[in-house]
Amino acid sequence: MNKSVLLLRVLVAALVVTSWSAGRPAAAEVDAKTAFAKLKTLAGNWNGVGDNRVASAVSYRLGADGNTVIETQCGGTAQEMLTVYNVVGSDLVATHYCNLGNQPHFKLDLKSSTADKLVFDFDGGVGFDPGKDGHIHGGTINFASGKVDTLWDYYEGGQKKAGTRFQLSRLAKGAAMTMRCGKPLAQAAHAAKKK
């Protein structure tokens, strides 16, 4: 096969690949500051339903003059947990203050994240041995049509043991959070009716 035929085949193959990829929508690029701005839009109160129809109340607020987003899950209960998000250099990072007494750290995975899907990878932590102790090991926040879907992975003994999904709906501004955390949804609704 002569060189000009080989070159022609390579050029045709390159054109085919280029035209195929041009027809596919590109994933929206995200950087730490863009992702952090998206997190800021969560400010307010949210009620949600987790796996096994367990109720969850979540609030997001800005702190430190807008330099942090503070997520409070099940505020004021024994199940209360906080996650604080902030930008450090070119990274969006988070520390989860768990009711297990540990503080896993996360960093936004820029390659796996998009403008509507933020993926957080485990990045060390304090107060536990990740090879032995139970801890949240990473998670995903999906933004869709006024709702938020989160998935957080729980590890123990160095292995994934569970993934807990929460589907959150924003409450109207000033509306009280009515769900009781940690109870199956039917029990939470019954408790709210008794008030």
pLDDT digits (tens, 9 = 90+) for 129-177: 999 999 999 999 999 877 899 999 999 999 999 998 989 999 988 777 7
Q: What is the pTM of this model?
A: 0.79
Q: Stretch 94-114: mean pLDDT, rounded?
A: 97
Long-range contacts of 89-93 (CB under 8 A, 24+ apart): 89/32, 90/31, 90/32, 91/32, 92/32, 92/35, 92/36, 92/39, 92/118, 93/123
> Quick check: helix, strand or coil at residue 137?
strand
CATH code for the domain defined by 32-194? 2.40.128.20
Cβ neighbours for 170, distance < 8 A, ≥ 6 positions apart: 44, 45, 46, 146, 147, 148
Write down the mean pLDDT value for the chain: 82
Half-sphere exposure of 146 (CA within 13 A, CB side): 4
Specify which residues 168 forms β-bridges with.
48, 148
Rounded Cα–Cα distance for residues 36 and 148 (Å): 15
pLDDT digits 0-9 by tens, 4-26: 433 334 333 333 333 333 443 44
Query: Which is higher by pLDDT, 194 or 69?
Result: 69
